[in-house]
Chains A and B, each alone.
Chain A
Amino acid sequence: MSGKTTSLIAAGSMLTLALFGAASAMLAFYTPAESTMGDIQKIFYLHLPVAINTFNACLVAFIASVGYLWTRKMSWDDLAASAAKVAVVLCTIVLITGMIWGRGAWGKWWTWSPRLTFSLMLWLLYVVYLIIRNSVDSAQRRAVISAVYAIIAFLDVPLVYLSARLMPDIHPQSIELEPKMKLTLLVWFIPVTLAAAGMIVLRYMLARQQAAASEKAQEPTEKPAQIVPGSPMWHSLLTGTNTNTRAEAGK
């Protein structure tokens, strides 16, 4: 990693942290509580941006998988895997914050409504993607199987989005927001999107470094035999005797 990259990562991390702090302060001191649900509705400002960024991460995994099948370059496979890992983390947050919100608003942690079920399915699909990646030894085979699987898994994303609109669901389609609430939501989108993009980039960089490390490990460690005057190889060349191995040369 160059010095410029390190500074960029440090600056991005500090900016994201500062924005998370500012957004939290805004939520505590500026944003009004919703009239029917009260304080628990404030989970919405984290829940929605994380949900949208889960979809974005799944989209990146989908595009990278298509890119891999198209070009057969391992960098696309690394990007798909990185995005899928981040999608699992973000989807976990969506499910946990959603369950807590459900406990406060509906009085129960979980209900098998279409959107919740499809969201859980999305999480499971990408967890299985990671399990598949760990269970195939050959890098090329792993990349092909994972890419095909990621393309199929992405079909669940529109189902999650459309489920609450097309089917009867306890999950709200949209919430009427006051101007202050809209502004808070917009502000929360910034650090969450930065964090999601940052996680994918860092994961991708790690995957490339790991690929470089494994290539380095496969390089031959023994140096080729040098023909030095006086060495067994030198004598064999002069006398025409055969010294195929180091052991034979030493005899």
Chain B
Amino acid sequence: MNLQQLTIAAYVIGIGLILAYTGYTLVRLISTTRRNSH
């Protein structure tokens, strides 16, 4: 891997982790809220 590919990999992993964790939390929040309201 050259330096440019390493840099892109770092950004993909970093932003990917943030988005994945936010998405996972959002899905759990929506399902828990729905369950509570029933």
Q: Are A209 and B11 in contact (CB under 8 A)?
A: no
Is A164 interfacial (CB-CB < 8 Å)? no
Are B10 and A203 touching (Cβ within 8 A)? no
From residue B24, how far is it (CB to closest CB) to chain A in Å? 10
Chain A, range 206-239, C-beta contacts under 8 Å to B:
206, 209-210, 212-213, 216
Nearest opposing residue in chain A for B28, CB measure: A206
A86-101 interface bits toward B, Cβ cutoff 8 Å, 1 = contact, 0 = none: 1001001100110011
Whether A1 pairs with B11 at a CB distance below 8 angstroms is no
Measured between beta carbons, the chain A residues less than 8 angstroms from B29 are: 1, 202, 205-206, 209
Let me know if B7 and A40 touch, CB within 8 A: yes
Least Cβ–Cβ distance between A192 and chain B, in angstroms:
8
A229 to B17: give the CA distance in the assembly, Å.
64
Count how many pairs of residues, one from A and one from B, have CB atoms less than 8 Å apart in the complex. 80
Contact A213 B17 (CB under 8 A): no
Contact of A206 among B4, B11, B13, B32 (CB under 8 A): B32
Q: Which of B14-38 contact A (CB under 8 A)?
A: 14-15, 17-18, 21-22, 25-26, 28-30, 32-33, 35-36
Residues of B within 8 A of A43 (CB): 6-7, 10-11
- Minimal beta-carbon separation of B25 from chain A (angstroms): 5
Indicate whether A46 sits within 8 Å of B6 (C-beta atoms), given known contacts A195-B22, A202-B29: no
Q: Chain B interface (Cβ within 8 Å of chain A)?
A: 3-4, 6-7, 9-11, 13-15, 17-18, 21-22, 25-26, 28-30, 32-33, 35-36
